[in-house]
């Protein structure tokens, strides 16, 4: 017969919270097995039945929770797949660690655009200097490619000296080279001006549609350098010629057609054209041959 003390201790163990299987780790006691001997087996089965029923009541929920986790993964994968097409392209994303070169170039471009917009004081009639727009347009027209090509051809037809014809033929070839080169570079770069403007008729004829490089600045630099090298001019005229080239380049900036960097690159390109023409300078005999061919093309055959 078990004593009353043993019966009370077993009842106390059954009613204790720490004797439950889920709290056994806190009590640092191993879980009792159901296979016990004698009265311990009967007491263990009697005491373990409530805990087992509670454990069995909780296990379906745990099983459902465990089975619901794999089903959530495909949903997450589906949401990731849906988010991936919405990602921004790489060129539209901001670089968190840009290089010093990229920062310097972007800063210079921003300064160039800001200054060019502020200097476009004759862009429209409502601009601050809109009253001077016609005068600035006339100054820009003196550096237009069509104006210089027509003027050179007229002077060539009226020239009677071999030296004059030699200079004029080379100048005509330099003008054609300048027009074609600038038009090709503009087609490749396709940079827009600081102000949205429709190119005029003469600009379309000379293929001066885009902003970079400035065609007027290139032509003015090349013509001024050409005339300074092959004509004997007084010092005041030489100064006026250089000033004219600078004002022609600036006039396009004031009209809002070009940026400041376009004008600077145009000046550099014009000087490059002059150096190229000096290296391939045509002799007087070659120029006379070209003049005779062009004259025969326009003369009647009878």
Catalytic residue annotation: 216, 258
Residue 228 to residues 163, 186, 232, 243, 256, Cα–Cα distance (Å): 16, 28, 7, 13, 29
Closest CA to 215 of 161, 251, 173, 239: 251
For residue 95, give both structure tokens.
């670089």
If you count them, how many residues does the chain have?
302
For residue 252, give both structure tokens.
């396009």
Are 62 and 56 in contact by the 8 Å Cβ rule? The answer is no
Task: Give the E-state strand segments of 33-123 in sequence order.
Answer: none
For residue 184, give both structure tokens.
């090709």
Q: Counting beta carbons within 10 angstroms of the beta carbon of residue 141, is it exposed (0 to 12), middle (13 to 18) or buried (19 or more)?
A: middle
**Rounded Cα distance, 222 and 143, in Å:** 11
Cis peptide before 213 (omega within 30 of 0): yes
Which parts of 84-161 fold into alpha helices (H)?
100-119, 133-141, 145-158
Are 47 and 10 in contact by the 8 Å Cβ rule? The answer is yes
DSSP letter (8 states) at residue 209: -
């Amino acid at each position: 017969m078990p004593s009353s003390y043993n019966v009370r201790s077993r009842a106390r163990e059954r009613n204790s919270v720490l004797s439950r299987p889920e709290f056994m780790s806190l009590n640092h006691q191993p879980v009792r097995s159901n296979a016990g001997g004698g009265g311990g087996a009967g007491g263990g089965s009697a005491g373990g039945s409530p805990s087992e029923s509670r454990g069995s009541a909780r296990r379906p929920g745990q099983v459902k929770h465990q089975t619901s986790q794999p089903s959530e993964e495909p949903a997450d994968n589906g949401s990731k797949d849906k988010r991936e097409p919405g990602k921004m392209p790489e060129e539209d994303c901001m670089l968190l660690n840009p290089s010093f070169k990229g920062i310097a170039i972007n800063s210079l471009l921003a300064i160039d655009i800001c200054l060019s917009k502020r200097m476009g004081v004759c862009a429209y009639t409502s601009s601050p200097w809109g009253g001077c727009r016609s005068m600035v347009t006339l100054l820009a027209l003196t550096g237009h490619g069509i104006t210089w090509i027509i003027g050179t051809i007229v002077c060539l037809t009226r020239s009677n000296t071999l030296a004059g014809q030699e200079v004029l033929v080379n100048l005509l070839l330099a003008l054609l080279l300048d027009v074609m080169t600038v038009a090709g570079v503009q087609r490749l770069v396709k940079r827009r001006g600081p102000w949205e403007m429709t190119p005029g008729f003469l600009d379309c004829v000379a293929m001066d549609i885009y902003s970079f490089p400035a065609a007027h600045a290139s032509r003015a630099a090349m013509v001024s350098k050409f005339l300074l090298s092959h004509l004997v001019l007084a010092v005041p005229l030489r100064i006026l010629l250089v000033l004219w080239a600078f004002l022609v380049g600036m006039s396009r900036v004031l009209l809002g057609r070009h940026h400041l960097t376009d004008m600077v690159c145009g000046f550099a390109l014009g000087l490059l054209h002059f150096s190229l023409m000096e290296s391939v300078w045509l002799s007087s005999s070659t120029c006379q041959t070209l003049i005779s061919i062009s004259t025969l093309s326009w003369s009647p055959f009878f």
